[in-house]
Structure formats: C-alpha cells, structure tokens
Amino acid sequence: MAKPRALIECVPNFSEGRDPARIERIADTIRSVEGVRLLDTDPGKATNRTVMTFVGAPEDVVEAAYRAIRAAAEAIDLRRHTGEHPRMGATDVCPLVPISGIEMAETAEWARRLGRRVGDELGIPVYLYEAAASRPDRRNLATIRAGEFEGLAEKMADPDWAPDFGPSTPHPTAGATVIGARDFLVAYNINLNTTSTRRANAVAFDLREQGRVVQDPTTGKPAVDASGEPLREPGRLKGVKGIGWFIPEYGIAQVSLNLTDLAATPLHVAFDAACDAAAARGLRVTGSELIGLIPLDALLAAGRHYLAKQSRSLGVDDRTLVHIAVKSLGLDDLAPFDPQAKIIEHALARPDDERLVRMAVRDLVAEAASESPAPGGGSVAGVVGALGAAMGAMVANLSAGKRGWDDRWAMFSDWAERGQAAAKELLWLVDEDTRAFDDLLAAMRLPKDDTAALAVRAAAIEAATQRAIDVPLSVIRTALGSMDLMLEMAAIGLPSSISDAGVGALCARTAVRAAALNVRINVPGLTDAAFAAAALAEAAAAEAAAAEREIETLRRVEASIQGTTGG
C-alpha cells in the first residue's frame, strides 16, 4: 500500500467572535492558499473567540496559518477585547495536528518554522507548546497563557518568560501567540440547567484530570506539600482539561472541556461523568456542543455505547450510530448538528469517493446499463455482496430485538456488527473497482514514443492490472467471510426471517462468483506469472467454499420453513 500523502490540520483560535466581517476577512486569507480546505468556522459571541479548522499539505497549511495570523493582527486590538475565554493574543493559539502520512516530530518542526516566521516577520512574540515546546515547563497551554494579555508585559519582563521567537515585549495590539503541534483535541462544552459559573466550575473541577486545589481546613488557604506546591485532589477523567463559564447568548452555564486523549476518555465517558457530577450537585445536564470537528470513530463509539445501555443491537449502519450519539449527547440542544460539517471524515470527503454508492438504485441501474464500461461486473459484485451481508445483518438485528430473547441480544448484536462491517467494506469496493479500472485505462493511454516511455507504460499497466485483480479478490474475501453470518442465522435466527438468511447467502455466493470472473478476465494482462497463479487459485478455492456454504445455508432455511409450515 502506498504511503498516504502528508496531511496536517490547523485549528487556530482567534480573539474575535462578534464581528462577522473581521472573521470573514481572516477566513478569506486561509481560502486564498491553494491546496488548503477550510472545513469549519465556529464563532462564539460570549467567548468573543472563533475557532477555524483547515487541512492540507504541511507547507500549504503553514502558509495559510501565517496569512491568517497576519490578518488577525491587523484586524484585532486586544486592548478593546473582552470575552469569557482566556486569551493572550489576537491569534491566541495555533496548533498543528498530524492527520495522515506525517509523524508528530515532523509536524512539530513545521510548527517551529511557522513560529520563527511569525516572530521575525510580524513582530509578534511566539511561545511553542505541546510537542513543539522548547522546554518541558512550556508544554501546557494554560501555563503559558496564565495572566492573559493584561499581564503579558509584566510576565515577559521575567527572563524566564522570554519568547521562543520574536521580540521580548508584547505586540501592542496583538499580544503574543502560542504555536505548537499536538494530537487531535476535541473542544467539548456541556450545558447545565444553571446560570452559576461557580457551580459549573465545581463540576469542571470534579471532571478534569488536575482536579482542584485542596484547602487547608485550619487556615482556609490552599494546602501545600513539602516543596511548597499546592496539593490537589485529582479529577475523574484522564487527558481532560476544563473550566466552567456562563454564556449570555444561551442563558446557561457550561462545563467547557478539552479532551486531549480520546482513547483515555471518550466523548460519551466525559458526558456521562458530567451527568453524574452535575446530579450530585443538584444540577442537570441538558445537552452539549462540539467546537470544531470530531473524528467519526468518536461518535460511532458513543452510538454503540448508548445502544448497548438499551440492550439493543449494535449492528446498525454509521448514520444510525451517529444519530443515536447526537440525540444521546444532546449535540443539537443549542443548534442543529450537521454531521457532514462537524465530522472530519465527512468534511474531507470528495464527491468522487462514493460516486456510485451514493446513487439512487434507479440511477445506479441506469449507469450500469449505459455505454460506459464502468461500473462493470466488479462494482456490481460489490453491490450484490453488500446486499447479501445486509440481509444477514437484518436477521441478526431482528433476532436481537425479539421479545423473550433478551439474554441472547449481545450474541446476535455481535453477528449483526460483523454483517454491517462486511456490507460497509463491500460498498467501499463498489467505487474502488471503478477507480481501479480508471487507473488501468490511464496507464494504457501513456505515451509510447520511445523505449523509455514504453517501459514506463508497461510498468504502469502491470501495477494497474494487479490492482484491478486485487479489488475483486477483496470482494471475494469479504463476501465469502459474510456467509458465516447467513449460515449461523439460518440455524438460530428469528424463524420468520430465516428466508432472508437464504437470500443473503445467494447474494454472497453470486458476489464471489462474479468477482472471480473479474479476476480471470484480468489475469491474461499480467506479466507476473506467480501473482497470476496465486490470484486464480484463491478465486477458485473461494468459489468452491462459497458453493458449500450456500448449499448448507439453504438446507437449513428449507428445513426451518418446512418445520414452520409443515408438521
């Protein structure tokens, strides 16, 4: 597999959330860089702060970030700025996040390049944080930002707080900027049915990893350890930072969390913990909101979590899982939640990624029947295989929900999840087969002007032909694997739906046989004899195995139907 192209995300926070013209001026500078996609602009009036999210190749993202920082410095005067969120700069913080094809160390180096340019060319002091930090004590953003803009001049007078780049005094209107590289961070606000910032802070202190400072009961002052450092009572959640605040535009207080490690504290764990902590203090969580974007897996995990709490099957499609997550977390409490805009994978998706599978059935059939050679048999094999896996998943889902089978729902749910995973993979292969065919055509159109060009063309055709075989082989493997589901559902599934397990088996075997035809028709174009022999052998063995599973599944189906209707 080819290494994915290097992509990084930038999530700058600008100290302007109330003037649409200024916000748009900054956004336009990001859009002006070719190769960068501005995915999200999220302004907040109460915080007077806007979070923007954009993605691209490292050099393009760094150029866009520089232009945006320059535009913010021209548009924002912190001497006149007020808002709920702590800030020390017109561009308060500018993190770079590795997305694909690039390691954290290289991302941190790009952050240093950006910081040096901002300091040298714009005259704005820059502090490096997280993975780009020059010193361990500067990794934490809150430590750097302590004292905010108003205390910046006094802070920078201390040689220990000399910036990493730029002048040793604050920019008069733009303050200072914090630039770094970090893992994906989710900015997540949880809504409370109170207007009390103090109570919201209490809940935040219950949750955040650093917890709260312990008070000495005899003096009423913070207790300290032997070294003079404040003693702390840790909070419940690892990798979580948080504060409480009141948002006038909503008329409520919120617990504002940064989830810095979704593996340690998933979104739904933070939400449930907030519900418990709020209830313990006589409060109620009414919903939540995401600032910026979130990985799809975080919402899928939340959807599964809340379905499992209801003892319902988890074997549903991604859209259903996202819907359950949005409703369970109350992500639409304050404003409509648009998955296409708020989920990073959806926001990055290109229209051609799923051109065929997004078609209506009628349009797909018409496209298949047209004079165009694609979609061809390989894509159709993927569609048929996906329908087969879906039939098996449906029987498992219906069985999981049957009254009186409550002690078996988890088993059926596991089977349904396997069916959904197979259907999802096969749907991806529908368009992948067409992309492989397009690559083969492109290779055949390469120049044949001389010996060197012919060699390049031959190598490209060989690679494209192997890909055109690998894709149907993947259809074969996935469709054959899904037949275990149909075979099991034919034996133990809901009797009234047993026939659907048979339909699923028929579809799956058809997908295997159809994909095998695609393998065989492409093999003569290969020069790699060993690759060709292995592909043909795998396809033939899979066809034989699929036939056996189809026969046994249909035998079980017929026996069940006879047992139901006969007697």
The residues annotated as belonging to the active site are: 85, 433
Distances in whole angstroms, Cα of residue 260 to Cα of each of 72, 266, 338, 344 = 26, 10, 23, 16
What is the pairing mode between strands 186-192 and 252-259?
A: antiparallel
293 neighbors 344 (Cβ within 8 angstroms): yes
Strands 91-100 and 13-14 come out as antiparallel
In Å, how far from its chain's centre is CA 476? Answer: 28
Beta strands 240-247 and 252-259 are antiparallel
Secondary structure string (H, E, C) spanning 118-162: HHHHHCCCEEEEECCCCCHHHCCHHHHHCCCHHHHHHHHCCHHHC
Q: CA angle at residue 117 from 259 to 70, to 5 degrees?
A: 75
Contact 334, 286 (CB under 8 A): no
Q: Which of 371, 518, 349 is nearest to 430 (CA)?
A: 518
How far apart are the C-alpha atoms of 483 and 510, rounded to whole Å? Answer: 11
Question: In Å, how far are 115, 255, 382, 482, 538 from 242, measured between CA atoms?
Answer: 27, 7, 46, 45, 54
Q: How far apart are CA 9 and CA 262, in angstroms?
A: 17
Tokens encoding 339: 């998955």
Cα 432 to Cα 483: distance, rounded to the nearest angstrom = 22
Strand pairing category for 240-247 and 37-44: unpaired
326-363 as b/e: b if 16+ CB within 10 A: bebbbbebbeebebeebbbebbbeeeeeeebbebeeee
- The Cα 89–Cα 73 span in angstroms is 9
Q: Are 253 and 274 in contact (CB under 8 A)?
A: no
CA distance 71 to 21: 12
509 in Cβ contact with 486 (< 8 Å): no
CA distance 385 to 21: 51
Q: How many CB atoms lie within 10 A of CB 138?
A: 19
Bridge partners, 294 (sequence order): 343
